């Protein structure tokens, strides 16, 4: 049977083949090559670049979460920073020093536990917010979720026992598994190498889980809700239920991403969970590709690596300064402007994002030598 | 077959399917697409169902020699019925799905069909409309219940599952009944009635006996009369031409039963292109119309691609022309330089191109059933498709000549098969064949049979031909189509017509000129390509008629005609032409069921157009 299928990728004999994630030999080979490259990278790149890549992988998990609710289910959410913050503080608190007098801490450093817990706390919060989404849509929903960010900011700034307060902050979660410390340099691997590999594995796990979710009955229901909630209801999709699922799962992903995000830096600052962070994630999915998992990853990589590029600008363009004290335009302002320009540019010229560009290139060569 | 007598084991298609079911029960025999998936049927399932059909026919009281008609598109049930009927010594009669009511009535009445297998409501309606004129018709088995079940109460109607249930009951009571019948089979049993499409007069039922079919399978399949090496269970075919035609019967039913080739049923004739892409068959038979359409599609699609693709694709198509010419000049074998050019082109263009049109895995491609223009053959040969023109007719069970792999002569229909006697009549130039595949006669028409088979057993094919290099046969034309101009010149119109049809813009061409001063032609444009051309040239049009009446389109076709004329002698040139105002249709009686043009019908229907070409003094 396999010999019959060889060279006949379109000859579907079962729905499992039709639905397979890697349904063509080309996809299988490229995925293998990509995975190999990703695993070998830590032994070829400098540690500081690895740290950025690891951060990008975590951001990708968060972006996948936002894409689930905004891209797949069509529910615009500006509140992603709030859920990221919930995750970050749940993890930091659970793994925090129990003897500290200044901060709450429980000393649970095993990372699967605090990772799951932060996901669940954020997911629960998402579930509480979801009924709002059931009654609102479009701009109104965006405004309500914007409100969440402000509530969160207020909470994080003033609950000093939890967050350490503005300008002070608290240490981030400690990743430990079976006695292995990921966040310190080891005998064989550096901290960056270990974290890079850990984040890569987590991204693959959460990416595959999300991909599986969106090609299932739930994914189809979410798409139906996005395309027209009224029509979805008429064909038998329980709109309220699926909006709740979308918010809960999306917030779970945000919680997980939030918990991991500050592991790299080692420190959480309560002021960082603001609107700008939400916008950054929206930029990721718009630049990467709305309603695609691979697009979310591409977008997260792009947006996270962007500062690395802009930091080099002052060397090339002397009128841009690298510090905020010396007058003129700073790299941070350039970054903010670039986000804006990128979002505008992608929305106008390539609404399907980086993934859309990839699809276009792929189609061009797939349809060779015809045009379609 | 004289050496085989009753009692000695004679392999009917039923026996062959049964033997395969015993030898390789789990190997896949058939695939048909249903709800987006290719559903598989193994040889054991194939035989089980066919045997049930046999039992069901026995349960309905079918005697040896009774007729079962099948009125359906190609699908599994077609083959089940064919095999099941042969197993109980009944005779299968195939009806074209496009047959209009009048022809259905004629065929069912003339064949005296007792059981009709009708595909769906459309075909059931055709039979019911004339059921009163059909005293012999006792049962109508329908395959698709939609629109029939709970709505029609004709007592003759029977659903396919109920039909099989009858067979199952019969099987339980008489488990050996089908085996018993299969043992009684005699070589002169009629296995199938194939009604010829009849470009003139009503269709005639060709009786092909069990021995005829057995000979054809031995000659074409087992001895590898077409392919080298012979077909095997590793091969696959796409079944898309009507199964009632002998050519498709050879390639799907007999290749399957004879060699275990896996048969894939196309969803319909419209979906042949996507189905080819999915199935990627290894053996493909097509009528010239199909090959012309694929070739035109490739050219148009490359021409309308982006700049880079157009340039690269165009370049490699020109190289393919050169490779095709080289191959044609060399019997279908590569020279060192053509092999090199093809290897590079394969990487850059041909592999992807063949994959897109679903021909990448084809190891043997054949054209037959009508003459094809050499340009079309060369086009595919240049792309790397092993292309062969073959020749045969229903009356000799499709066994006559074929171009053999590696010994191809483009423009000929190839060499005679091993067990075939073939000669050309000295006086008339008519091709005569003699072999055990010669049909038993026309059903209820001994006079016509006598005209076809002379006392020495030679079959008069009605085709005029000549030898090329003493080995290959070239067919000039159908005898009755030969044009004798007013100047007394003999002209074979099909050659000119095929040259015209090789253009992507020309779908049909009918050359006229019998007893006239000069040749003229009625030309039907290909709506897809000409429509696309019109769009490119910003030429608005509404209907086919509107499009074909545009002066620009006439000028386009004039260009094609001029180009073709250059290749012919002055008397053979088409001096003037008219575009047909409509697409020719089977239902309007202008085409046969196999999409061949009925010359007389067309020239009669468009008599005023024809006359307008000879009025006044055009040259």
Structure tokens at B562: 């001029």
Q: Which pLDDT value is given to residue B1?
A: 37
Cα–Cα distance for residue pair B165/A8, rounded to 1 Å: 37
Q: Where in chain B is the domain with CATH 3.40.50.12780?
A: 209-479
Q: Per-residue pLDDT tens for B19-44?
A: 999 999 999 999 999 998 999 999 99
Instruction: Please check the confidence at residue A2 and state whether its pLDDT lies above 70.
Output: no
Neighbours of B147 (CB within 10 A): 14
What are the phi and psi torsion angles at B518 (to 5°)? -150, 170
Q: Where in chain B is the domain with CATH 3.30.300.30?
A: 482-614
Return the minimum-mean-pLDDT range out of A93-107, A109-123, A353-367: A93-107
Q: Where in chain B is the domain with CATH 3.40.50.980?
A: 41-185
* Cβ atoms of A258 and A87 closer than 8 Å: yes
CATH topology classification for B209-479: Rossmann fold (3.40.50)
CA distance B261 to chain A (A): 12
Q: Which pLDDT value is given to residue B199?
A: 65
B279 and chain A in contact, CB less than 8 A: yes
B296 and chain A in contact, CB less than 8 A: no
Q: Is the peptide bond before A96 cis (omega within 30 degrees of 0)?
A: no
CA distance B281 to chain A (A): 9
End-to-end CA distance of chain B: 58
Neighbours of B258 (CB within 10 A): 24
Average pLDDT, integer, range A328-351: 86
Cite the DSSP H helix spans in A228-330.
Answer: 229-234, 239-261, 275-288, 293-310, 313-316
Instruction: Please check the confidence at residue A79 and state whether its pLDDT lies above 80.
Output: yes
Residue B444 backbone class (left: φ over 0; alpha: ψ -120 to 50; beta: rest): left
Average pLDDT, integer, range A220-241: 93
Average pLDDT, integer, range A116-139: 91
Considering only CB atoms, A370 lies closest to which of B305, B360, B361, namely B305
Cα–Cα distance for residue pair B619/B616, rounded to 1 Å: 9
Chain B 16-75, residues with CB within 8 Å of chain A CB atoms: 28, 36-38, 40
Residues of B in contact with A1 (CB under 8 A): 28
Tell me how long chain B is. 619
Q: Which pLDDT value is given to residue B2?
A: 37
Q: Which pLDDT value is given to residue B24?
A: 95
Considering only CB atoms, A10 lies closest to which of B278, B305, B312, namely B278
Chain A 4-43, residues with CB within 8 Å of chain B CB atoms: 4, 7-8, 10-15, 18
Residues of B in contact with A370 (CB under 8 A): 301-302, 305, 309, 313, 353, 356
CA B147, B153, B154, B160 torsion-angle sign: positive
Chain A, chain B: beta-carbon pairs less than 8 Å apart? 57
Cβ of A369 and B40 within 8 Å? no
* Cβ atoms of A83 and A255 closer than 8 Å: yes
Cβ of A7 and B277 within 8 Å? no
Q: Per-residue pLDDT tens for A190-199?
A: 889 999 999 9
Q: Which residue has the tokens 């396999």?
A: A2
Cβ of A371 and B361 within 8 Å? no
Cα–Cα distance for residue pair A285/A292, rounded to 1 Å: 9
CA distance B231 to chain A (A): 15
Q: Which pLDDT value is given to residue A326?
A: 64
CA distance B356 to chain A (A): 8
Average pLDDT, integer, range A353-358: 92
A371 and chain B in contact, CB less than 8 A: yes
Quote the pTM value: 0.87
Considering only CB atoms, B352 lies closest to which of A7, A14, A369, namely A369
What is the CA angle B248-B253-B254, rounded to 5? Answer: 100
Cα–Cα distance for residue pair B398/A137, rounded to 1 Å: 69
Q: Per-residue pLDDT tens for A268-312?
A: 989 889 998 999 999 999 999 999 999 999 999 999 998 888 888
Residues of A in contact with B296 (CB under 8 A): none
Average pLDDT, chain A: 90
Cβ of A369 and B316 within 8 Å? yes
Instruction: Please check the confidence at residue A161 and state whether its pLDDT lies above 80.
Output: yes
Cβ of B236 and A4 within 8 Å? yes
Query: Is the CATH number 3.40.50.980 carried by domain B41-185?
Result: yes
Chain B 227-256, residues with CB within 8 Å of chain A CB atoms: 234, 236
The percentage of residues in chain A with a pLDDT greater than 70, rounded to a whole number, is 98
CA distance B343 to chain A (A): 16
Tell me the CATH architecture of domain B482-614.
2-Layer Sandwich (3.30)
Considering only CB atoms, B280 lies closest to which of A1, A8, A13, namely A8
Burial class (CB in 10 A: 0-12, 13-18, 19+), B342: buried
Q: Per-residue pLDDT tens for B435-492?
A: 999 999 999 999 999 999 999 999 999 999 999 999 999 998 888 888 888 888 888 8
Considering only CB atoms, A11 lies closest to which of B38, B306, B356, namely B38
Cβ of B280 and A7 within 8 Å? yes
Q: Which pLDDT value is given to residue B7?
A: 41
Cα–Cα distance for residue pair B54/B41, rounded to 1 Å: 18
End-to-end CA distance of chain A: 30
Q: Which pLDDT value is given to residue B5?
A: 42
By C-alpha distance, the chain B residue nearest A371 is B305
Residues of A in contact with B360 (CB under 8 A): 7
Return the minimum-mean-pLDDT range out of A70-84, A88-102, A287-301, B425-439: A88-102
* Cβ atoms of A331 and A338 closer than 8 Å: no
CA distance A178 to chain B (A): 47
By C-alpha distance, the chain B residue nearest A372 is B305
Q: Which pLDDT value is given to residue A324?
A: 64
Burial class (CB in 10 A: 0-12, 13-18, 19+), A120: middle
Structure tokens at B60: 């309905």
Burial class (CB in 10 A: 0-12, 13-18, 19+), B151: exposed
Instruction: Please check the confidence at residue A4 and state whether its pLDDT lies above 60.
Output: yes
By C-alpha distance, the chain A residue nearest B358 is A8
Residue numbers of chain B with a pLDDT score lower than 70? 1-9, 198-200, 616-619
């Amino acid at each position: 049977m396999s010999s019959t299928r060889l060279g006949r990728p379109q000859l579907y004999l079962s729905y499992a083949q039709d639905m397979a994630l890697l349904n063509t030999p080309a996809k299988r080979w490229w995925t293998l090559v990509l995975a190999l490259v990703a695993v070998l990278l830590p032994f070829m790149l400098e540690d500081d670049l690895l740290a950025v890549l690891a951060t990008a992988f975590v951001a990708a998990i968060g972006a996948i979460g936002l894409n689930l609710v905004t891209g797949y289910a069509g529910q615009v959410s500006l509140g992603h920073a709030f859920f990221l913050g919930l995750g970050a503080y749940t993890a930091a608190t659970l793994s925090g020093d129990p003897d500290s007098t200044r901060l709450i801490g429980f000393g649970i450093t095993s990372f699967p536990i605090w990772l799951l817990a932060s996901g669940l706390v954020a997911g629960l919060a998402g579930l509480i917010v979801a009924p709002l989404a059931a009654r609102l849509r479009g701009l109104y929903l965006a405004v309500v979720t914007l409100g969440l960010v402000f509530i969160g900011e207020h909470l994080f700034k003033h609950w000093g026992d939890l967050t350490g307060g503005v300008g002070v902050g608290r240490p981030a979660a400690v990743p430990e598994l079976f006695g292995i410390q990921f966040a310190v340099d080891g005998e064989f691997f550096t901290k960056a190498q270990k974290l890079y590999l850990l984040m890569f594995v987590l991204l693959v796990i959460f990416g595959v889980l999300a991909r599986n979710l969106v090609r299932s009955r739930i994914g189809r229901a979410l798409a139906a809700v996005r395309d027209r909630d009224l029509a979805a209801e008429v064909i038998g999709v329980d709109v309220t239920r699926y909006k709740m699922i979308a918010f809960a799962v999306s917030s779970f992903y945000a919680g997980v991403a939030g918990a991991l995000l500050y592991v790299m830096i080692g420190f959480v600052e309560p002021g960082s969970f603001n609107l700008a962070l939400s916008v950054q994630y929206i930029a990721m999915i718009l630049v990467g590709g709305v309603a695609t998992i691979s697009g979310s990853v591409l977008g997260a990589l792009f947006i996270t690596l962007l500062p690395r590029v802009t930091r080099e600008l002052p060397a090339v363009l002397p009128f841009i300064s690298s510090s905020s004290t010396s007058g003129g335009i700073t790299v941070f302002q350039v970054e903010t402007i670039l986000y804006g320009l990128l979002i505008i540019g992608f929305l106008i010229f390539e609404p399907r994002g980086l993934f859309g560009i990839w699809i276009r290139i792929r189609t061009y060569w797939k349809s060779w030598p015809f045009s379609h | 077959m004289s050496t085989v007598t009753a009692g000695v084991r004679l392999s009917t298609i039923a026996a062959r399917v049964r033997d395969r079911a015993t030898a390789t029960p789990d190997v896949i025999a058939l695939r048909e697409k249903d709800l987006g998936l290719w559903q598989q049927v193994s040889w054991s399932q194939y035989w089980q169902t066919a045997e049930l059909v046999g039992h069901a026919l026995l349960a309905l009281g079918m005697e040896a020699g009774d007729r079962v008609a099948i009125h359906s598109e190609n699908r599994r049930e077609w083959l089940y019925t064919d095999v099941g009927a042969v197993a109980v010594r009944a005779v299968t009669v195939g009806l074209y799905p496009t047959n209009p009511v009048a022809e259905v009535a004629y065929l069912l009445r003339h064949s005296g069909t007792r059981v009709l297998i009708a595909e769906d409501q459309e075909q059931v309606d055709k039979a019911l409309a004339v059921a009163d004129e059909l005293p012999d018709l006792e049962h109508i088995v329908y395959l698709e219940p939609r629109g029939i079940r709970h709505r029609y109460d004709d007592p003759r109607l029977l659903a396919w599952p109920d039909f099989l249930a009858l067979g199952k009951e019969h099987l339980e009571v008489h488990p050996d009944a089908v085996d018993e019948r299969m043992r009684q089979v005699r070589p002169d049993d009629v296995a199938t009635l194939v009604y010829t499409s009849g470009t003139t007069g009503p269709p005639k039922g060709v009786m092909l006996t069990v021995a005829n079919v057995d000979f054809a399978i031995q000659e074409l399949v087992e001895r590898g009369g077409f392919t080298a090496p012979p077909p095997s269970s590793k091969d696959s075919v796409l079944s898309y031409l009507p199964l009632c035609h002998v050519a498709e019967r050879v390639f799907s039913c007999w290749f399957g039963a004879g060699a275990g080739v896996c048969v894939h049923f196309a969803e319909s004739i419209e979906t042949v292109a996507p189905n080819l892409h999915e199935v990627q068959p290894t053996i493909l038979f097509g009528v010239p119309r199909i090959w012309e359409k694929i070739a035109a599609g490739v050219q148009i699609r490359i021409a309308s691609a982006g700049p880079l693709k157009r340039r690269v694709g165009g370049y490699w198509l020109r190289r393919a022309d050169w490779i095709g010419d080289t191959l044609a000049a060399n019997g279908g074998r590569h020279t060192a330089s053509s092999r090199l050019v093809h290897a590079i082109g394969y990487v850059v263009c041909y592999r992807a191109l063949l994959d897109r049109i679903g021909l990448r895995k084809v190891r043997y491609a054949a054209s037959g059933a009508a003459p094809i223009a050499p340009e079309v053959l060369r086009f595919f040969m240049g792309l790397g498709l092993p292309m062969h023109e073959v020749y045969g007719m229903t009356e000799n069970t499709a066994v006559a000549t074929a171009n053999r792999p590696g010994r191809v002569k483009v423009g000929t229909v190839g060499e005679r098969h091993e067990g075939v006697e073939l000669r050309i009549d000295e006086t008339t130039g008519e091709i005569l064949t003699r072999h055990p595949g010669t049909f038993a006669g026309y059903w209820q028409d001994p006079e016509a049979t006598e005209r076809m088979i002379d006392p020495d057993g030679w079959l008069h094919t009605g085709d005029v031909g000549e030898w090329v290099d003493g080995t290959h046969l070239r067919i000039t034309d159908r005898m009755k189509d030969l044009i004798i101009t007013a100047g007394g010149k003999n002209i074979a119109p099909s050659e000119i017509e095929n040259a015209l049809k090789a253009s992507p813009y020309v779908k049909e061409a009918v050359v006229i000129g019998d007893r006239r001063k000069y040749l003229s032609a009625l030309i039907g444009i290909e709506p897809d390509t000409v429509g696309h051309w019109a769009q490119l040239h910003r030429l608005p049009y509404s209907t086919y008629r509107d499009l074909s009446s545009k002066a620009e389109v006439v000028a386009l076709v004039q260009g094609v005609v001029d180009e073709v004329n250059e290749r012919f002698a002055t008397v053979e040139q088409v001096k003037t032409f008219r575009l047909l105002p409509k697409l020719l249709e089977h239902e309007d009686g202008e085409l046969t069921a196999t999409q061949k043009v009925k010359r007389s019908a067309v020239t009669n229907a468009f008599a005023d157009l024809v006359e307008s070409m000879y009025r006044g003094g055009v040259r």
